[in-house]
Each structure stands twice: as C-alpha cells, then as structure tokens.
Chains A and B, each alone.
Chain A
C-alpha cells in the first residue's frame, strides 16, 4: 500500500466522525521504484493532506519531507523526487492502520489493507 492510498483512506466504522488519518503501524516497508511523472505529482499535491502524509512517511521510516509546503516547491526537482518517493515508492507491506478515534486496527497483509468491518461496526 502506497502512502497515496493511505492518504485516501479513513476509518469506516459506524459512529466515527472523521476517522482520518489512520495511524500506521509498520512492520515491513518495501521500496518499489517507479518512474517519476511530474504532472501526476503536481495534481496529487493539491489533493494530499500534507500533515497526514508527513506523519505517515515518518512512521514508514522516511524523514526527508519538509514540515511545511507550498505549491512553489513543485518547481524544485529535489522536492519532487522526495515527494515522489514517499508518495508512490514506499509501500506498507505488513502492519496495520489504526483508527484515530476508536483504536481499531485494520490489518495490512501483503500490501493489502483489510477495511472489512465486523457486523457490529457497520
């Protein structure tokens, strides 16, 4: 699971208000290199909630992203390559996503988050 996907996921348990961001418990992180596409990154930059993304990247052991960002940074190749790496190349292979409100753990196995709810959570 990429951090892009993490940034799009929220806890879906009944009664949870925001459920975002899910806290990452990383047991195994893998890197899968992909070609960089600056246009894609610029589009995604608008959509990504930065604070959640920054926190997520740190919990995956990557600490090369700036605390504060603005769209001017998209002109910097160095920023783009770090953004690209954290957004698309780091994968949570094993671990869990934890609901910020209830503490419910959604397991991630073989890179696939399990967001299925129990009957009493729907």
Chain B
C-alpha cells in the first residue's frame, strides 16, 4: 500500500512550504485517500477539466494529477487560492512532481463563473471548515485556509453554489467536511440542487471527525421529488453508509506524518 500510494500521490518531501501556507495535514490526506479509493471510477470518468478551489500547498491538485496519470494527456487542471503565497507554493509543488495546472489568485472562482460554467468534470475542495469567530473569515494569510466562521460554514456555503454552477453534467465534487459543519445538512442542500452524495471516507482524528463527501448530479431526482419523506429516507441511507466506511477509521497510519 505504501509504495502504491507513494507512486500515485504527491510526496511530502517534494511538497513546497511557506509559513503563511497551510501544510498538508489529516484533512488533506483524507481527501487524497478518498480520490485514491475512487481512482478506478475517476479513470473511467475521463475528466477533461479538473479544478481545485483553495489549493494551499498544492498537495491535493498534484495528487489528483498523479492519480489520473501523468501519461494521460487531455486533462486540464485549474487551481485557485485567495492566498498569494499558496499559489506560488502550489506552482513549486506541481513542478517538483512534473505535473502542471493553471493557477489563479482569486476568491473561490471569481472571474471564472461566466466562461467556466458547466465545464468542470472533477472538483476537489478542502475548504476552511473550522468554526471560528466571524471576523477571522477571509483574513489575510494562513488564517484564510481554516477560518470558517459560524459552524465552519461561511465559506462552504459560498462554495456550494459556485460548484453547482461550474460542474459539468457529469461533474463530480469531492469535499472535506467536519462533523461541526453538519454534513447531512450540506448533503440535503445539495440534494435540493439535484445532487446525490456519498461519504467516501469518514475518519476521526484526535481533534476532529472528517467526512469526505462525493457529490454528483442525479438526474432521477428533481427538486419536486424532494419531499420530507424522501429526505428522511435519504438521511437514513446516508447514516447507513457510515459503518460501511468506518473501516477507514484507524487505518490512517500515514507514512507521511
């Protein structure tokens, strides 16, 4: 497993760093592990346009490019961050692994909403999800990488409609959430926009309980069909998934840490 993983994800010693940029940590590893776990599906998905919102150190977008395969041309990667140091560090991390992505210094996807709408086949997001005082949200530097305001939802709730807007018809979104963010409520909110969801990884660390959720458009569901009854059934099925994936818990012996 270790060598398999090493060949297909960014190597920690090659990930660049800066004191104002969030370093890969449990949440980043969980997101990349979710992508690895879903690798067969990702390869079959044949994405053309992949995007990361909030690329930080570049660990995740680099890993996504490696998972999809350096040898496979025909995939364009875009990564954004609001922190000028983060996009610089991401460039170094990509270069160190011999992969490439287009980097844009911007707030979420500002400037891309019009022309990139409906084009993104795979989106990955490790948002600032930590519950913090409101005034820390969007502060300069490294704080912007974690400060999520009330329930850690301030930035997540801005990202979700943007993701919905940018994703293609076959688009997938992988997002990190914390129990405090109320992931079931996030899934319900996306359900109303027509998305199905699945927890790919649920992992408890000393400090937090992380869920990596995958969203995809479910054309069998229209807004009208989302009744209270179906929501209850949906919640039940969501909760039922958790034990299935609890095998991942504790198996997080990260060689990288």
In the bound complex, residues from chain A placing their C-beta under 8 Å from that of B87 are 112
Tell me, rounded to whole Å, the shortest Cβ–Cβ distance linking B78 to chain A: 7
Complex Cα spacing A65 to B31, Å: 41
Q: A10-B114, A12-B110, A47-B119 are in contact. Are A37 and B102 (CB under 8 A)?
A: no
Query: A-side binding surface: helix, strand, loop or mixed?
Result: loop
B110 touches A117 (CB 8 A): yes
Name A113's contact: one of B73, B74, B76, B104 (CB within 8 Å).
B104
How long is the Cα–Cα vector from A111 to B102 in the complex, in angstroms? 8
B105 contacts A9, C-beta separation under 8 Å: no
Name the residue in B74, B100, B111 with the highest tally of chain A Cβ atoms < 10 Å from its Cβ: B111
Residue of A5, A7, A11, A18 ringed by the most chain B CB atoms within 10 A: A5
Find out whether the CB atom of A12 lies under 8 angstroms from the CB atom of B104.
no
B13 part of interface (Cβ distance < 8 Å): no
Residue from A37, A47, A112, A117 whose CB has the most chain B CB atoms within 10 Å: A112
Contact A112 B114 (CB under 8 A): no
Write out the residue numbers on chain A whose beta carbons fall within 8 Å of the beta carbon of B110: 12, 115, 117
Encode contact with A along B101-113: 1 for CB under 8 Å, 0 otherwise: 0111111001111
Partner of B112, one of A8, A18, A36: A8
Closest residue of chain A to B81, judged by CB?
A112
Give me the interface of A with B, judged by CB distance under 8 Å: 1-2, 4-5, 7-12, 18-20, 32, 34-37, 39-40, 43-44, 47, 49, 88, 110-117
